[in-house]
A and B are shown apart, each in its own frame.
Chain A
């Protein structure tokens, strides 16, 4: 069974600091997908990134970057020069490509989330 662990329940930093959110996953599948989502107080999930298991390239998008390391089963997320608007709950999630849904990606298994607080 798959599992996603976000050990950091809450992180509080001062604006402009860099912050890394950790994510460790477990799966027996060789094909899987990893995601990060942002959930502001409104509740609506905001998609940030998807990575498939065959693509270990790190990615940078503006102030956001992701470090995917299969050797340690980790998919960490770094925000550079954090801003108050980055305050939210961030979820890491895993989807396996098997099971109940016709061969495509299954429903997501979410980590417990990290509540990120950026103080001005």
Chain B
């Protein structure tokens, strides 16, 4: 159990276009999902926290108008990179937290989406 999927696994897009990445918890409900970004040979950086039915909370330095997050259901969160540019090329990883409240510390990571903007 506790499987998280991401779609697509990789995508190449042209500069100026928008790209949507989906994160799904397949066998559990996730009231909270997290989005991370990882540049080549670097660490993962938390971008935003996504709570079902409410606005996402973005980390300092992350442009909320550029990285649109929607968490419309308990099993799906989407990240849309708007007007993508080559510097947005990165590995985007989501995680889903099972359960609610203080007992919910387990986060299950998706396999990641590699975005290349040409």
Residues of A within 8 A of B (CB): 31, 33, 37, 42-45, 47, 50, 52, 91, 95, 97, 99-113
Contact = CB atoms under 8 A, between A and B. Distances in A.
Q: What secondary structure prevails in chain B residues at the interface with A?
A: strand
B94 to A, nearest CB: 11
B105 A43 contact: no
A73 B101 CA distance: 26
Contacts of B32: 101-102, 104
A109 B107 CA distance: 13
Interface residues of B, number: 32
Q: What secondary structure prevails in chain A residues at the interface with B?
A: loop
A96 to B, nearest CB: 10
A110 B59 CA distance: 14
A33 B105 contact: yes
A27 B100 CA distance: 23
